[in-house]
């Protein structure tokens, strides 16, 4: 009995029966013995049952059509079977890849089908993906042999599978490796598939896997992952999946492609009219973008000059402005990041910080001991912890492995990365671990070089990023709506063009927002970008203005070359590691100044930028100065921290240099 030609069989059980005749008018209960398999394919797990004498006859598999929940039955006449016999392996593989949702019913006999059994018994088979499984009902204990009933998400119930040659517990254990099963509070016999949390975690599994090309299954089963990942391959698949045998209809309109993408991601489908703060933005003249320059990074000497004898920061605003304008030298990051991330209070003394670290060290190791002390037997009964550990181990082994801090086998950095993420599961067990979080921790650990400090800095960072990883993805929805609002104010023509190409939802910015550009810039550039963003200057949601800056930089090429839906996604994806961080920081700052100087700033934009308490009116004579003050960006600081500089065009201006010792002198 051969297994399906593709995929790894992780569970196989013979003697699994279907009782095919169970209605009152049937004379007897026909038993059909079959083989039940669980098969791991590239990006999904398949459950497959087929009769023993039908294990290779693909014509009896019932599976859903690619774009429909209706059942497709492979019923063929002898003539069709003969003509298609040579093509069956490839046809079977194609259909196997596209299995979505399965319904189950008896196959009616075809008048021309002379291969039907003499006793009238039909052959039955079914296949479904675990992503479509809603619940599993078990038999009552002591009621004969064990059986299971699979219920799919479209509320289709498959017939009971009776385990005559063994019980069903091994199957349940196998399935628990891939989905979270929780006992129903209404009926202890029913195991509910906790698909949202699991699928969200699994969706990140291949999000950052650069070698993954299994989009055929991924897009249908996990569009959330694919949308954030390799857009160039995604869109090629979208087009290919809509091709038909008729050359004249090989491609559907881009609007249909966009609808397919939007419908496939129900958690992120955005209705701007229903989102809080939505406001129709009319064309407003923002004026010319000002020239912006950047200074050299803050040095350790400059930092020390701004501390008193007890270790307090003398002028916090001045320090933040300096970091915003130039970043930090690397030797200073280990200390300064603790302040920027909120681990150390800005007004604390050196002694107070030492006491805080001592308390936090004790607290960290108490949490670490919680998962370290769980025995193998205990973990077998804790599927969530088991799943978290599995995902973390998988991610740790592929996070920033080209960086010397993490390269090679048995690297201490990898062990620390693993332990911190496991301990975070104890700190926030509801969220636990979702793939992508390792990307946020990696640079923090690299800078801290200390397990405890890295953990608490990561906790502070996750407080900012928490909504990005929650099941409902509300944080991501809100950011996409806000980004759309800002971009429309900045360039309504470009927004209209994107909408005309069915790209108005800005899904191509998803990965940027999810992990704060971690995969778009080099490792060293990310250190600079993050520390600038952590100053929370010059306004709220500066990261959205960074998105605007990147998009505005690419606008001309996108519009001049008339890029469509497919080309836009491909182009944005290919920007990774090609963006000049200093240029984009200058441009984003220029955009912020452009908006804060606007006397007719729409209310929705004011709220996004943190200006909801604004008293500026279109008639205000000093609106420019007031808007600066409201955004906590004193003009004097901009002026005094402007040299040495990097201009907005990315070139260094050597004529505007001044003494470094002057740049951080307290006012």
Mean pLDDT of 226-232: 43
Distance CA(306)–CA(298), nearest Å, equals: 11
Give bridge partners of residue 645 from the DSSP assignment: 653
Q: How far apart are CA 192 and CA 189, in angstroms?
A: 10
Helix (H) or strand (E) holding 293: strand 293-294
pLDDT digits (tens, 9 = 90+) for 258-309: 444 444 444 444 444 444 444 455 568 888 899 999 999 999 999 999 999 9
CA dihedral 161, 165, 168, 173 (to 10 degrees): -130
Residue holding tokens 């839906």?
A: 565
Is pLDDT above 50 for 88?
no
| Contact criterion met (CB below 8 Å) for 107 and 124 | yes
- What's the predicted TM-score (pTM) here? 0.60
- Write out the DSSP string of 364-382: HHHHHHHHHT--HHHHHT-
Q: What count of residues does the chain have? A: 667
Distance CA 634, CA 639 (A): 9
pLDDT digits (tens, 9 = 90+) for 143-163: 556 889 999 887 788 888 888
For the stretch 376-414, pLDDT in tens is 999 999 999 999 999 999 999 999 999 999 998 888 999
455-510 per-position pLDDT tens digit: 999 999 999 999 999 888 889 999 999 999 999 999 999 999 999 998 998 989 99
pLDDT at site 144:
59
pLDDT, mean over the chain? 74
User: What does the pLDDT look like over 571-601, one tens digit per residue?
Assistant: 999 999 999 999 999 999 999 999 999 888 9
What does the block give as tokens for 138?
Answer: 């078990």
177 near 169, Cβ under 8 Å? Answer: no
Helix axes 231-241, 254-263, angle to 10 degrees: 110
How far, in Å, are 136, 372, 391, 565 from residue 201 at the CA level? 21, 22, 8, 28
Helix (H) or strand (E) holding 134: strand 133-138
Six-digit token string for 426 = 């104890």
Cα separation values, 173 from 144, 383, 636, Å: 21, 10, 65
User: Residue 123's pLDDT is what?
Assistant: 52
pLDDT of residue 599: 86
Please tell me which of 47-61, 110-124, 228-242, 552-566 the model is most confident about, judged by mean pLDDT.
552-566
Tell me the three-class secondary structure of 56-104, residue by residue.
CCHHHEEEECCCCCCEEECCCCHHHHHHHHHHHHHHHHHHHHCCCCCCC
What's residue 283's pLDDT?
Answer: 67
Query: Which residues, in sequence order, are bridge partners of residue 135?
Result: 151, 192
């Amino acid at each position: 009995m051969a297994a399906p030609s593709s995929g790894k069989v992780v569970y196989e059980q013979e003697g699994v029966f279907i009782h095919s005749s169970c209605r009152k008018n049937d004379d007897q209960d026909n038993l059909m013995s079959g083989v039940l398999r669980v098969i791991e394919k590239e990006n999904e797990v398949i459950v497959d049952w087929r009769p023993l004498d039908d294990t290779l006859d693909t014509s009896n598999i019932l599976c859903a059509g690619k774009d429909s929940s209706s059942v497709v039955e492979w019923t063929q006449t002898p003539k069709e079977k003969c003509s298609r016999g040579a093509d069956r392996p490839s046809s079977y593989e194609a259909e196997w890849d596209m299995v979505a949702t399965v319904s189950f019913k008896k196959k009616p006999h075809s008048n021309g089908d002379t291969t039907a059994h003499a006793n009238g018994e039909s052959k039955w088979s079914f296949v479904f993906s675990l992503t479509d499984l809603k619940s599993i009902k078990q038999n009552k204990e002591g009621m004969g042999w064990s059986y299971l009933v699979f219920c799919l998400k479209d509320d289709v119930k498959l017939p009971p599978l009776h385990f005559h040659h063994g019980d069903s517990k091994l199957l349940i254990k196998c399935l628990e490796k891939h989905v979270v099963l929780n006992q129903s509070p209404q009926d202890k016999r029913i195991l509910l598939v906790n698909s949202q949390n699991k699928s969200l975690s699994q969706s990140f599994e291949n999000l950052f896997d650069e070698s993954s090309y299994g989009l055929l299954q991924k897009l249908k089963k996990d569009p959330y992952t694919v949308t954030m990942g390799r857009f160039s391959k995604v869109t090629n698949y979208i087009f290919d999946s809509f091709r038909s045998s008729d050359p004249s209809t090989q491609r559907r309109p881009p609007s249909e492609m966009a609808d397919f993408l939007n419908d496939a991601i129900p958690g992120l489908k955005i209705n701007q009219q229903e989102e809080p703060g939505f406001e129709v933005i009319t064309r407003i003249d923002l004026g010319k973008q000002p020239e912006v320059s950047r200074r050299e990074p803050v040095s350790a000497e400059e930092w020390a000059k701004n501390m008193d004898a007890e270790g307090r920061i003398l002028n916090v605003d001045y320090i933040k402005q300096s970091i915003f304008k130039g970043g930090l030298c690397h030797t200073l990051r280990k200390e300064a990041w603790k302040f920027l991330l909120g681990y150390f209070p800005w007004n604390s003394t050196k002694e107070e910080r030492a006491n805080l670290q001592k308390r936090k060290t004790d607290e960290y190791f108490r949490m670490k001991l919680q998962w370290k002390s769980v025995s193998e037997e205990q973990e077998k009964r804790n599927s969530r912890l088991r799943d978290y550990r599995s995902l973390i181990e998988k991610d740790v082994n592929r996070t920033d492995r080209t960086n010397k801090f993490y390269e090679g086998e048995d690297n201490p950095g990898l062990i620390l990365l693993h332990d911190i993420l496991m301990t975070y599961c104890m700190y926030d067990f509801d969220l636990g671990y979702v793939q992508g979080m390792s990307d946020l921790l990696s640079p923090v650990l690299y800078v801290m070089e200390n397990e405890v400090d890295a953990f608490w800095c990561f906790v502070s960072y996750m407080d900012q990023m928490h909504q990005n990883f929650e099941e409902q993805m509300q944080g991501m929805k809100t950011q996409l709506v806000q980004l759309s609002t800002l971009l429309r104010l900045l360039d309504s023509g470009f927004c209209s063009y994107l909408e005309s190409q069915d790209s108005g939802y800005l899904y191509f910015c998803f990965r940027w927002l999810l992990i704060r550009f971690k995969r778009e810039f080099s490792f060293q550039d990310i250190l600079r970008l993050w520390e600038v963003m952590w100053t929370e200057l010059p306004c709220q949601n500066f990261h959205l203005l960074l998105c605007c800056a990147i998009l505005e930089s690419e606008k001309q090429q996108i519009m001049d070359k008339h890029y469509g839906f497919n080309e836009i996604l491909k182009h944005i994806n290919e920007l990774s590691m090609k963006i000049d961080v200093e240029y984009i920081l200058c441009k984003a700052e220029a955009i912020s100044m452009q908006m804060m100087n606007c006397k007719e700033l729409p209310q929705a934009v004011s709220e996004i930028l943190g200006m909801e308490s604004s008293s500026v009116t279109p008639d205000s004579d000093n609106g420019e100065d007031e808007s600066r003050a409201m955004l906590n960006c004193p003009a004097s600081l901009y002026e005094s921290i402007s040299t040495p500089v990097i201009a907005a065009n990315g070139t260094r201006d050597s004529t505007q240099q001044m003494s470094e010792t002057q740049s951080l002198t307290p006012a």
